[in-house]
Structure 1
Amino acid sequence: MADSERITPPWWLKPMNKVFMTVMRLGIVKDGPMVLTVPGRKSGEPRSTPITPFTVDGKRYVVGGFPGADWVRNARAADVATLTQGKRTERVRMVELPPDEARPLLRAFPTLVPTGVSFMKNAGLVTVGRPDEFEALAGRCAVFRCDPAS
């Protein structure tokens, strides 16, 4: 995916993410979403965003919902990231997958992360939310594997 392809997120997304992350940090939301924190690629300051990882064959993955999203570009530049869920924190390496490896994971995404379907519809990336529509996003939407950091 070229960095030139950017979809502008809705105006309310960043404020809503901040509220959602606060709720998650308080432990109100227990399962599913996590807070991903990576250093900013220019400032080096920690940047956080909510994500919903999913597991396939014992490995955890996350999909970038907007081509060119800041968190995706920061994750590409970072050596390590932090995943937080409630009081639990873990350091991970964000390994971006090439399109061929991303396709089957994107195909499984609507089943494994049903809350992500409406998000991707609202972004204009899919219309109906069928697995083949998600699979077609390979190379356009980043897919990362979250490996434990040593």
Structure 2
Amino acid sequence: MSAQPADPNSPTPAAAHVMKPGWLTVNVFNRAVAWMTRRGISVWGSRVLAVRGRKSGEWRRTPVNLLTVDGVRYLVAPRGHVQWTHNMRAAGGGQLILGKHVQDFTAVEVADDDKPALLRAYLKRWKAEVGVFFGGVGPDSSDDELRAVAPKHPVFLVTTTGPTTPAA
């Protein structure tokens, strides 16, 4: 799969597409997963993503699902072009945190035409959690259907840049 370098100044055709999570997701599910992940318990690949804010330079944290396909790791934004995706484009990487272990990484955005297999794998694993954000497209959808929603869901190829270190 080819990847495009993250360009913080490039316009995103689906930048206006952001799906807001519901109250239950924000106040119960995300908090529970983040709490367990901070304590070193991964829930189906969960990590806490830390990425520097593109304006403030401050570390911003959010729970994410780390997708692994054929030994390669990806971050998928099921809710669309949200703050962490904008920050990722600007920063070009960040940290994945699981409990006391921190893994630095670089990120390269994946081209829309290369996303169908990745979105399919993501939906196979987490459709129950995130399927509502894909407008009826699921793991059994055709490549054309997945390609049609691809611009709405940023995907980043994650490459680790050093050993996992204990958090400070």
Q: Under TM normalisation by the shorter chain, which class is it?
A: 0.7 to 0.9
Residue 86 of structure 1: how far off its partner (Å): 2.2
How much has 1:14 moved relative to structure 2? 3.8
Q: Deviations over 1:68-104 (max 9, x none)?
A: 2111111111132000122221100121111112222
% same residue: 34
Distance (whole Å) between structure 1 residues aligned to residue 119 and residue 57 of structure 2: 30
- 1:22 maps to 35
Q: TM-score, normalised by structure 2?
A: 0.74
Matched position secondary structure for 1:42: coil
Deviation of the 1:144 alpha carbon:
0.8
Aligned partner of 1:80 in structure 2 is 93
Among 97, 122, 129, the alignment partner of 1:119 is 129
The one-letter code of the counterpart of 2:135 is V
Name the residue aligned to 1:10. 22
Residues 63 and 142 in structure 1, CA contact (< 8 A), matched pair in contact too? yes
Aligned-residue CA RMSD (Å): 2.2
Residue segments in structure 2 that go unaligned for 5+ positions in a row = 1-12, 163-168
In the other structure, the counterpart of 1:95 is: 108
Q: Which runs of 5+ in 1 are unaligned?
A: none
> If the length of structure 1 is used for normalisation, what is the TM-score?
0.82
Structure-2 separation of matches of 1:38 and 1:51:
12
Distance 1:25 1:103, change over 3 A: same
Secondary structure at 1:145 match in 2:
strand
Instruction: Go from structure 1 to structure 2 and tell me whether the alpha carbon gap of 1:60 and 1:131 turns closer, same or farther (over 3 Å shift).
Output: farther
C-alpha contact 1:109 1:134 (8 A) present in aligned 2: no
CA drift of 1:128 comes to: 6.1
